[in-house]
């Protein structure tokens, strides 16, 4: 963090002098220590000029986790799930590997572990397909209303065409797709189309043709 003392006169000169001394092309963050009662607006206008010239950048501090790297899905058979998700997404896996041992186990709160996995890269997020060899996995049974249940949703433009594609590759939705209407009880996002289905191990999946607040942004 760099502190600059900007006086009433020579503000831009003082700024450029600091850049030269620090051997920088621009300043990412500046804190203004303001002595006395001189007019603040002159310095503010100087900073605006520097910002327009690209010598002063204002960067919002990242205080949260806003980028999803991947969604991990635990499966019973890695090879079968690779076939399913490649057919579903139209993408090929980019990597297949395994990881295990005490260090990996401890970071997950396990005694020991061995995981076979594959990485599938989509346009906006990755899917990690995971088969646990150790410890021996058990089958979870989650329906969408159960607490801690999660689902992964794929965005599409045309819900009817997307459901037709599902059926063409042997995947059948849990029910008929719907488009949100006022009778469904919501105020916004009317016209959004959704359909639900599962993978071979029962992982909850969804298709959405979003409107309003359901669009990504």
Q: Which domains does the chain have, with CATH numbers?
A: 2-52 (no CATH), 67-138 (3.10.180.10), 144-217 (3.10.180.10)
Is 78's pLDDT higher than 60?
yes
Q: What is the mean pLDDT of the chain?
A: 85
Q: Backbone dihedral region of 51: left (phi > 0), alpha (psi from -120 to 50 degrees) or beta?
A: alpha
Q: CB-side exposure of 152: number of CA atoms within 13 Å?
A: 20
* Burial label, 213 (beta-carbon count in 10 A; 0-12, 13-18, 19+): exposed
Q: How many residues does the chain have?
A: 217
pLDDT in tens, 32-54: 555 555 556 666 677 677 667 76
Give the pLDDT of residue 56: 60
Is 31's pLDDT higher than 80?
no
Taking the C-alpha atoms of residue 205 and residue 138, their distance in angstroms, rounded to an integer, is 20
Give the pLDDT of residue 41: 65
pLDDT greater at residue 11 or residue 103: 103
pLDDT greater at residue 44 or residue 92: 92
Q: CB-side exposure of 161: number of CA atoms within 13 Å?
A: 5
> 133: part of which helix (H) or strand (E)?
strand 126-134
Give the pLDDT of residue 52: 73
Give the pLDDT of residue 8: 41
């Amino acid at each position: 963090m760099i502190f600059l003392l900007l006086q009433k006169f020579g503000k831009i000169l003082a700024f450029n002098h600091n850049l030269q001394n620090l051997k920088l092309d621009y300043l990412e963050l500046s804190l203004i220590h303001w002595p006395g009662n001189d007019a603040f607006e002159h310095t503010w206008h100087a900073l605006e000029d520097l910002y327009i010239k690209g010598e002063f950048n204002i960067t919002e501090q990242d205080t949260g986790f806003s980028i999803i790297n991947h969604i991990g899905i635990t499966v019973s058979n890695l090879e079968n799930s690779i076939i399913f998700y490649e057919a579903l997404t139209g993408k090929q896996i980019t990597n297949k590997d395994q990881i295990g041992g005490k260090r990996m186990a401890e970071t997950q709160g396990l005694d020991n572990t061995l995981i076979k996995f594959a990485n599938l890269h989509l346009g906006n997020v990755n899917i990690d397909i995971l088969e646990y060899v150790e410890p021996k996995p058990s089958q979870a049974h989650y329906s969408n209303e159960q607490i801690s249940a999660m689902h992964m949703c794929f965005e599409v433009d045309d819900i009817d065409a997307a459901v037709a594609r599902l059926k063409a590759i042997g995947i059948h939705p849990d029910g008929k797709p719907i488009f949100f209407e006022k009778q469904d009880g919501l105020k916004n996002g009317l016209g959004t189309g959704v359909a639900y289905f599962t993978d071979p191990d029962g992982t909850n999946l969804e298709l959405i043709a979003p409107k309003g607040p359901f669009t990504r942004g």
